[in-house]
């Protein structure tokens, strides 16, 4: 049976979520602080991780960051008691797949979990069916294996960095607005966070471009957005 990890310090909320996630035919693991949650995330395979931001010992941002540093691509849905934009932006930029603001209804939470899992499954299915390989200059991308290489050397990307690069590279010469990139890579529920796209583009460039002042692969269409070079 697939497992879901709940990292939430409020035991009443954790238990309530656990009951309903269990009704979705998942086995549930629980952690009540960030360090224990991180250890469980690193040492077990989960279908999804529900991660509170305000945690003792280690906050949810750091937990998510560490998970992604270890190249674990498990979907992460962040739980926050605040509605401030900074929480949402930080969560997106460190690799979270979605967020939900407390107080939330159980129906909304379940819908978010299903949506995240559906997006991941669709992405994996398309990758397996297409087995797309892209070669442009010294850049190599393998969609199915989620591998990126520059000069035959592996480049480590976060899940969203990879998805963003793949979308651009699959459409050489086509300009995408920041809003379009945000919608296609993160989903329509993140409208208003276009600057997250800028942050990911900047990080991508530091990893694949030899000269940041003269990008070779990811080009800026001034006043509009970004595009991948045409060979």
List every span in the chain annotated with CATH 1.10.10.10. Answer: 131-228
User: Is the pTM above the cut of 0.85?
Assistant: no
SS3 assignment, position 228:
strand
Question: Which tokens sit at 35?
Answer: 């360090």
Residue 27 pLDDT level (bands cut at 50, 70, 90):
very high
Q: Taking the domain 131-228, which CATH number applies?
A: 1.10.10.10
DSSP state at residue 218: E
CA distances from 127 to 53, 168, 187, 219 (A): 31, 15, 18, 25
Residue 95 pLDDT level (bands cut at 50, 70, 90):
confident
CATH architecture of 3-126: 3-Layer(aba) Sandwich (3.40)
When mean pLDDT is compared across 8-12, 117-121, 151-155, 198-202, the lowest value belongs to: 117-121
The whole-angstrom separation of Cα 84 and Cα 37 is 24
User: Residue 131 pLDDT more than 70?
Assistant: no
Q: Torsion over CA of 161, 81, 26 and 37, rounded to 10 degrees?
A: 70
Beta bridge partners of 225: 177, 221
Contact status, residue 18 vs residue 61, Cβ threshold 8 Å: no
List every span in the chain annotated with CATH 3.40.50.2300. Answer: 3-126
Give the pLDDT of residue 14: 95
Residue 123 pLDDT level (bands cut at 50, 70, 90):
low
Longest CA–CA separation in the chain, Å: 57
Residue 85 pLDDT level (bands cut at 50, 70, 90):
low
């Amino acid at each position: 049976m697939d497992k879901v990890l709940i990292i939430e310090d409020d035991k009443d909320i954790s238990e309530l979520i656990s009951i309903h996630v269990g009704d979705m035919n998942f086995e549930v693991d629980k952690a009540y602080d960030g360090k224990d949650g991180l250890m469980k995330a690193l040492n077990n395979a989960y279908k999804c991780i529900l991660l509170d931001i305000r945690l003792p010992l280690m906050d949810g941002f750091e937990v998510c960051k560490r998970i992604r540093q270890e190249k674990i691509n498990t979907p992460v849905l962040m739980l926050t008691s605040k509605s401030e934009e900074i929480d949402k932006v930080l969560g997106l930029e460190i690799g979270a797949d979605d967020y939900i603001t407390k107080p939330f209804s159980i129906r909304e939470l379940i819908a978010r979990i299903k949506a995240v899992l559906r997006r991941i499954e669709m992405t994996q299915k398309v990758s397996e069916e297409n087995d797309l390989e892209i070669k442009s200059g010294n850049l190599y991308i393998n969609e199915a294996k989620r591998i990126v290489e520059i000069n035959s050397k592996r480049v480590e990307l976060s899940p969203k960095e990879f998805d963003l690069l793949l979308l651009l590279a699959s459409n050489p010469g086509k300009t995408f607005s920041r809003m379009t990139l945000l919608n296609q890579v993160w989903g329509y529920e993140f409208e208003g966070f276009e600057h997250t796209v800028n942050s990911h583009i900047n990080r991508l460039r530091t990893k694949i471009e030899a000269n940041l002042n003269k990008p070779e692969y990811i080009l800026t269409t001034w006043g509009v957005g970004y595009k991948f070079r045409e060979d």
